[in-house]
A and B are shown apart, each in its own frame.
Chain A
Amino acid sequence: AQTVTQSQPEMSVQEAETVTLSCTYDTSESDYYLFWYKQPPSRQMILVIRQEAYKQQNATENRFSVNFQKAAKSFSLKISDSQLGDAAMYFCAYRSALSTSGTYKYIFGTGTRLKVLA
């Protein structure tokens, strides 16, 4: 079975600095997607960035980028120029390959709480 591990329950970063959140996963599949979701105090789950396993190039989305190491099964999120609004819970998620029934299975990590210090 697939697993997703976020080993950092909490991280802090100074405003305007850079922080990296770690995520590792375990799977025997070769085709899958990885995601980072942000959950602010409002509790809404917001998609931050996604990475296709077949792509070697790391995904980027404005100040957010990932370091995808497929062989090491590592998928870290880098936030540059951190802003107060980045403070939230961040979840790493894995999406399995398409099943015969036409759906995907999602597995989430336990989350990392990011604090941004002014």
Chain B
Amino acid sequence: DTAVSQTPKYLVTQMGNDKSIKCEQNLGHDTMYWYKQDSKKFLKIMFSYNNKELIINETVPNRFSPKSPDKAHLNLHINSLELGDSAVYFCASSPIGSLAGDTQYFGPGTRLTVL
């Protein structure tokens, strides 16, 4: 069974469109994250959710909004897409309050291409 899954795997869209990327984890973890990996492979954290509460927001444009309907899901909504949004987006999760609470488990990534 896949621990952290993302859909879609690939997403190609036009500038100005609104799109969403879904993430689900079946590990029972308390915290989920979204990362952006640019063309230079630099990985930067965007959001972190703990029990449906936004904990970290690394100066991300407000066109990006995370939505967490429940503890197992953290979706990423992007409005008015720009060329610079093209990247690979990774979802991750980690447990809180356990001995393994220091390890993040990553999803397979979603490659977003904005034309």
Contact = CB atoms under 8 A, between A and B. Distances in A.
B41 A105 contact: no
**Looking at chain B's contact residues, is the secondary structure mostly helix, strand, loop, or mixed?**
strand
Interface string A92-115: 000100010111111110110100
B110 to A, nearest CB: 9
Interface stretch (B14-22, B42-50, B59-67, B76-84): B42-50
A103 B50 contact: yes
Interface residues of B, number: 30
15 contacts: A35-B102, A35-B103, A37-B106, A44-B106, A46-B106, A99-B55, A101-B50, A103-B96, A104-B94, A104-B102, A106-B33, A108-B42, A108-B43, A111-B41, A111-B42
Given A101-B53, A106-B33, 9 more contacts: A33-B102, A35-B103, A45-B92, A102-B96, A104-B94, A104-B102, A111-B42, A111-B43, A113-B41
Interface of A: 33, 35, 37, 39, 42-47, 50, 52, 89, 91, 95, 99, 101-108, 110-111, 113
